[in-house]
Amino acid sequence: MADMTKAYLLGALHDATIRKITYRIGAKDLSYAEFLKKGITALGHKAWIYKEGKSRNYYIVEFVKSILDQVALKSFDDKIDYIRGYFDTDGGIARSKNVRYYLYFAQKNKNDLANVKNYLEQLNISCGIIHNPSKSKDASYFRFFIKAESYQRFAEVIGSWHPIKSKFLRVKI
């Protein structure tokens, strides 16, 4: 795993809660929360982890918003790190051997989702259309899939730094 970048953190914010002076990223996996905290610390900033609720296995990594002041995606490397962070928090991967393998991105902000799809296509990764899987369940929820012919390229170019997702990405590709 490479070093955490601010572009990666910017991508990971798609599953964050924004407070007055901090960001809060939630994670079901403690190992991912620890990865985020370690990466933020390596960038020279403080971050802290706490468990949300007494009976839930859900962890929050909180850090000051100023870390990401003036961050812009200028290079292809920035875009790759951004997409990887986005995937690690708001992307999905088939974990069961009993279902057809898939990779997808999901988000309520359709324009934001279109932006990441555009970045992927700039990197020659084929994507399906952005769609709403169930208007009756949630009319403002959108997703798109990575096309099967691009699974290998996605794994090689984007990959994952999430301790769990990266294993499933490697197993299938």
pTM: 0.92
Can you give the pLDDT at residue 133? Answer: 87
Is a pLDDT exceeding 70 seen at residue 170?
A: no
Report whether 9 contacts 68 (CB < 8 A).
yes
Can you give the pLDDT at residue 89? Answer: 93
**One-character DSSP codes across 88-147:** HHHEEE---TTS---EEEEES-HHHHHHHHHHHHHTT--B---B-S-TTT-TT-EEEEBP
**76-172 shares the fold of 6-68:** yes
Which tens digit of pLDDT belongs to each residue from 32-72?
999 999 999 999 999 999 998 888 889 999 999 999 999 99
Is a pLDDT exceeding 90 seen at residue 1?
A: no
pLDDT band at 171 (very low <50, low <70, confident <90, very high): low
Average confidence score pLDDT of the chain: 92
Yes or no: domain 76-172 corresponds to CATH 3.30.200.20: no
Tokens of 159: 């990959």
Which tens digit of pLDDT belongs to each residue from 81-124?
999 999 999 999 988 888 889 999 999 999 999 999 999 999 99
**One-character DSSP codes across 134-157:** -TTT-TT-EEEEBPGGGHHHHHHH
**What CATH number should be reported for the domain whose range is 6-68?**
3.10.28.10
Determine what percent of the chain is predicted with pLDDT higher than 70: 97
CA 144/CA 114 separation, integer angstroms: 9
Domain ranges of the chain: 6-68, 76-172
Tokens of 52: 């949300």
Can you give the pLDDT at residue 14? Answer: 87
Q: Which residues pair with 60 in a beta bridge?
A: 26, 50
Report whether 125 contacts 153 (CB < 8 A).
yes
Determine what percent of the chain is predicted with pLDDT higher than 90: 79
